[in-house]
């Protein structure tokens, strides 16, 4: 069964690979046999992830990429080696009510979380079509793209749009052998949300999760390998929650 989820012979691009989910994904994919292209704005942090990948005996190529900057995305694709799988993981958040949210914060969230997913997907699809080969895109959305949370208007809007974009890409490019799925994580502790999760508000939120805890990072590994490998060859357009049944909680 391990061969079913093997990534041997595949090279995977992971955006936002300098920390959090991205760094974890890189290690998991390398452990399954993949070579990696690691992209982020913080190149010095990428080197830490690259060393972990190489320690597992796999190749790691580091490329600077600001997904909110179309020119940066295009330049990265022009210099990096070909990839067969793309993990659109880069993302940011700004907590604010709608009437207090600045235009700059709105643009930052939408440019990173939505425009960035589109730009990376477009560049990958253009190359796969030009080469006459299929490909596989995994967009990291969120349960907040399926339901809403307080003071997260820009983030929830961006992630809901990512879910719909995932379905649109799946529909448009199935005939070219290009798949696109999304993972919708619930609450996992990362450096971005760690302080909030340990605050009174965060602890209250955790109590509303049916599992009564946040996810452990290794619990993302199975869903990732399912969608990244050929085990999911007939899956496209799916949005897979990994949330401890949070979406099933009562209103």
Euclidean distance between CA atoms 152 and 142, whole angstroms: 12
The Cα-based distances of 246 to 174, 201, 210, 236 in angstroms read 31, 16, 6, 23
Euclidean distance between CA atoms 14 and 213, whole angstroms: 27
Euclidean distance between CA atoms 240 and 57, whole angstroms: 30
Euclidean distance between CA atoms 193 and 172, whole angstroms: 35
The yes-or-no answer on residue 173 being catalytic is: no
How many CB atoms are closer than 10 A to CB 101? Answer: 16
218 and 25 in contact (C-beta within 8 Å)? no
> Which among 155, 173, 176, 234 is annotated as catalytic?
155
Q: Is 223 left (phi over 0), alpha (psi -120 to 50) or beta?
A: alpha
DSSP-derived secondary structure for 131-183? HT--EEEEEE--GGGTS--TTBHHHHHHHHHHHHHHHHHHHHHGGGTEEEEEE
Euclidean distance between CA atoms 101 and 157, whole angstroms: 13
Euclidean distance between CA atoms 6 and 88, whole angstroms: 20
236 and 179 in contact (C-beta within 8 Å)? yes
The residues annotated as belonging to the active site are 155
């Amino acid at each position: 069964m391990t061969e079913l989820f093997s990534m041997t012979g595949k090279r995977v691009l992971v955006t936002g690979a300098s920390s959090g989910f991205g760094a974890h994904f890189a290690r998991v994919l390398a452990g399954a046999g993949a070579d990696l292209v690691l992209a982020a704005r913080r190149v010095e942090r990428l080197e830490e992830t690259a060393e972990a990948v190489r320690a597992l005996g796999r190749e790691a190529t580091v490329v600077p990429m600001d997904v909110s900057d179309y020119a940066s995305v295009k330049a990265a694709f022009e210099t990096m080696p070909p990839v067969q799988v793309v993990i659109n993981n880069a993302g940011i958040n700004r907590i604010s009510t709608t009437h207090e949210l600045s235009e700059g914060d709105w643009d930052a969230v939408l440019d990173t979380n939505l425009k960035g997913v589109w730009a990376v997907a477009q560049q990958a699809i253009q190359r796969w079509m030009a080469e006459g080969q299929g490909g596989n895109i995994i967009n990291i959305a969120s349960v907040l793209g399926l339901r809403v949370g307080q003071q997260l208007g820009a983030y929830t809007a961006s992630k809901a749009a990512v879910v719909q974009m995932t379905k649109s890409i799946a529909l448009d490019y199935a005939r070219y052998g290009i798949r696109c799925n999304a993972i919708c994580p619930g609450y996992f502790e990362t450096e971005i949300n760690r302080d909030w999760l340990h605050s009174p508000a965060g602890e209250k939120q955790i109590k509303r999760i049916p599992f009564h805890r946040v996810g452990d990072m290794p619990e993302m590994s199975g869903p990732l390998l399912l969608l990244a490998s050929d085990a999911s060859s007939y899956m496209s357009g799916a949005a897979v929650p990994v949330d401890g049944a949070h979406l099933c909680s009562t209103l």
